[in-house]
Amino acid sequence: AQSVSQHNHHVILSEAASLELGCNYSYGGTVNLFWYVQYPGQHLQLLLKYFSGDPLVKGIKGFEAEFIKSKFSFNLRKPSVQWSDTAEYFCAVTSSGTYKYIFGTGTRLKVLA
C-alpha cells in the first residue's frame, strides 16, 4: 500500500540546534517528493520539492532535503534552527501526472528561544 511515514511526531529543539525530520515512503514507480510547512495560524505552503536530478534539494528559509532512493527516504534538514521555524511539517509523495498525494501525518517542531 502507498504510504508516507513521519516517525517524529513532536520535536523540541533549542535555537541554533540542527534539525533532521525523517520521511520514509512506500510508493510504486517514479516519485515526486514534497515538504510542506504550516506556521501557526497560517496556511500550508511549499517548502521544497524533488522531481529528478540532484538528490539534494534546497528550499526556502535554509531548508534542504535529500532523496535516498535505496532507503525510500526524503529527510528534511536545517543546520541551525530559529524560533521562527516553529511549525508543523508535512512530507508528501506523488508522481507526475497524478492528482493525488499521499501525505505523512506531520511533525510538530517547537524551537525554544
Contacts to another protein by CB under 8 A: 4, 9, 32, 34, 36, 42-46, 49, 51, 90, 94-101, 103-106
- Shortest gap between Cβ of 66 and another protein (angstroms)? 19
Q: Which is nearer to another protein, 4 or 81 (CB)?
A: 4
Report the distance separating Cα 94 and Cα 113, nearest Å: 35
Distance between terminal CA atoms of the chain?
A: 40
The residue among 100 and 113 lying less far from another protein, judged by its C-beta, is 100
CB of 45 to another protein, least distance (A): 7
Nearer to another protein, 13 or 102 (CB): 102
Find the shortest distance in angstroms from Cβ 54 to another protein.
Answer: 18
| Helix/strand/coil for 43 | coil
Tell me the one-letter amino acid at 93. Answer: V
Counting every residue written for the chain, the total comes to 113
For the chain, what is the total number of helices (H) and then of strands (E)? 0, 12
Q: Check: CB of residue 106 under 8 Å from CB of residue 21.
A: no
Q: Which is nearer to another protein, 70 or 98 (CB)?
A: 98
